[in-house]
Amino acid sequence: MSTRHQYYGQEKLFFITTTTKNWVNIFDIDSCKKVVVDSLKFCSSKYFADIIAYVIIPNHIHVILFFQNETKLSDFMRDFKKFSSRNIRLELQKGKYINILNQLEFQKGEQIYKVWQDRYDAKVIRGNEMLLTKIIYIHNNPVKNGLVLNVEDWKNSSAGFYIGLDCELPIKNAGEIM
């Protein structure tokens, strides 16, 4: 899996973006969003990575991860994409979303469908100002894309957590890591 990122060294805090193949709006489907949430929960637990902020919009996700111990971002993303791809495909087949499945067709070996683009973007976050900028960017993404008028109206985001509402994922407050 290719990626665009810099050498990590001892870095522990990252802003990550990954996109569906052909920018297909897979995450308009609730069961597919749930797969992403479950996959993020699993991988954050497995790799001791705290989720600082996230948003799931119809064709991509943004997440800020803080690795408590050893940084294993590539392993995290490999497992996240592998687990979520398989389960999203199953949800699409179960729901008979033929049009979406057709857009995800990909023939390589035994692989028939591809849910995610091969690469993901990862940027090291250095300092409080950059962290705050990325959190605001993530939470404003649904507004910028015309999906809602206010950040708190988008339920598939950590924005609610930061204003005292419920959140689908366990979030580590940004103030606790910087």
Average pLDDT over residues 167-173: 81
How confident is the model over 33-73, as pLDDT tens digits? 999 999 999 999 999 999 999 999 999 999 999 998 888 99
DSSP 152: G
Q: CA 105 → CA 22, 58, 118, distances in Å?
A: 10, 18, 14
* Out of 14-18, 25-29, 170-174, least confident range: 170-174
Confidence at residue 10, expressed as pLDDT on a 0 to 100 scale: 65
Backbone angles phi, psi at 44, to 5 degrees: -65, -35
How confident is the model over 67-96, as pLDDT tens digits? 988 889 999 999 999 999 999 999 999 999
Domain 4-176 fold: Alpha-Beta Plaits (3.30.70)
Q: Is the pTM of this model over 0.85?
A: yes
**Would you kindly state where each structural domain of the chain is located, as residue ranges?**
4-176
Mean of all residue pLDDT scores within the chain: 90
Residue of 53, 6, 21, 34 lying closest to 157 (CA atoms): 53
Cβ-contact 17, 60 below 8 angstroms:
yes
